[in-house]
Amino acid sequence: MTDTLLNAVTAVQSDLVLQMTQNDAYEYIHDDTLLASSLWANIALAGLAILLFVYMGRNIEDPRAQLIWVATLLVPLVSISSYAGLVSGLTVGFLEMPAGHALAGEGAIFSPWGRYLTWTFSTPMILAALGLLAGTNRAKLFTAITMDIGMCITGLAAALVTGSHLLRWVFYGISCAFFLAVIYVLLVEWPKDAEATGTAEIFNTLKVLTVVLWLGYPILWALGSEGFAVLDVAITSWGYSGLDILAKYVFAFLLLRWVAANEDSVADGAVATGASGASGPRAVDD
């Protein structure tokens, strides 16, 4: 009898989860000031960053420098779209966590899956800008970007799998493996290229910023409601928003300021004059 009742309650709960509308999601977000502010703050900052970056790049004429500029500008452009999707309730959902998960049996858990999806578009732009700055070749650029996309898509899968707790972490592990490849290119391959290109100083600053901040994302995922649920939904959301502010806007600002002031160093056909004394045409056209 109790079993029948429990099954009925679970079935009703599941139906309710499935029946959550975008309007419910919108209200859920806006009933929680901390959560809503973590999203709106980024919309405001992305808007300001877009205007600032357009202004900063207005006089860039060299095609390669322009390419870096457009890639950099796309970071806040993707971001504003991403956060608009989240705050409107369009790209969020409510999931029932599988047995074994810290929040299993607690009903519908808020999932901002749009975040993970849109990283697929923003992070390749960050890497494209960095790779072009380093003057790397196409093979390394392709490697970094495809591995990065693999990381984002499997990270999305890790967040969305609800059939098996184990498989959530399997996807997390696969995503980390992709991430390692990105870290390798950033820490080992591109510094050598940047040295030969003569952009080592700014590249190394941005590399450290990127690697340190990007490491924060998988840690936050593991601590947040998707993983061990040590942190609550709004705190996790502010964590990502804070990382985003530094990894996107601060990163992009530093990069763009340097490119605007040193257009010649990244110019098409520029000859490398790095400290290593290496010379020759830029490698990305290899």
Query: Degrees (nearest 5) of the Cα angle 184, 185, 191?
Result: 110
Q: Which of residues 57-86 bind ligand RET (CB under 6 A)?
A: none
Distance of closest approach, residue 188 Cβ to ligand RET, in angstroms: 18
Euclidean distance between the first and the last CA atom of the chain, given in angstroms as a whole number? 72
Task: Kindly state whether residue 172 participates in binding ligand RET, applying the rule CB under 6 A.
Answer: yes
CA distance 79 to 118: 8
Out of 45, 247, 252, 284, which residue is the one contacting ligand RET (CB under 6 A)? Answer: 247
- Residues making up the chain, counted from first to last: 286
* HEC secondary structure over 36-56: HHHHHHHHHHHHHHHHHHHHH
Quote the tokens at residue 89.
């309730």
**141 in Cβ contact with 147 (< 8 Å):** no
Task: Kindly state whether residue 203 participates in binding ligand RET, applying the rule CB under 6 A.
Answer: no
Number of residues that bind ligand RET (CB under 6 A): 18
Out of 53, 69, 214, 249, which residue is the one contacting ligand RET (CB under 6 A)? Answer: 214
Q: Which is nearer to ligand RET, 176 or 260 (CB)?
A: 176
Q: Residue 49 CA to chain centroid, in angstroms?
A: 16
Burial class (CB in 10 A: 0-12, 13-18, 19+), 105: exposed
Out of 179, 190, 238, 258, which residue is the one contacting ligand RET (CB under 6 A)? Answer: 179
Q: Which residues in 82-219 belong to E strands, given as ranges?
A: 93-96, 108-111
Task: Kindly state whether residue 53 participates in binding ligand RET, applying the rule CB under 6 A.
Answer: no
The 3-state DSSP composition of the chain as helix, strand, coil percent (nearest 5) reads 75, 5, 20
Task: Kindly state whether residue 207 participates in binding ligand RET, applying the rule CB under 6 A.
Answer: no
Task: Kindly state whether residue 176 participates in binding ligand RET, applying the rule CB under 6 A.
Answer: yes
Task: Kindly state whether residue 221 participates in binding ligand RET, applying the rule CB under 6 A.
Answer: yes
Q: Which stretch binds ligand RET (CB under 6 A): 133-141, 174-182, 228-236, 268-276?
A: 174-182
CA distance 57 to 68: 10
Q: Which stretch binds ligand RET (CB under 6 A): 54-62, 66-74, 135-143, 173-181?
A: 173-181
DSSP state of 95: E
Distance of closest approach, residue 278 Cβ to ligand RET, in angstroms: 30
Mark 138-157 with x for binding to ligand RET (rule: CB under 6 A) and - for no binding: -------------x---x--
Out of 143, 175, 241, 265, which residue is the one contacting ligand RET (CB under 6 A)? Answer: 175
Nearest residue to the partner ligand RET, using Cβ? 155
Angle between helices 200-223 and 190-197 (to 10 degrees): 160
Task: Kindly state whether residue 190 participates in binding ligand RET, applying the rule CB under 6 A.
Answer: no
Q: Which is nearer to ligand RET, 150 or 274 (CB)?
A: 150
Q: What residues form DSSP beta bridges with 71?
A: none
- Summarize as ranges the residues that interact with ligand RET (CB under 6 A): 116, 119, 122-123, 151, 155, 158, 172, 175-176, 179, 214, 217-218, 221, 244, 247-248
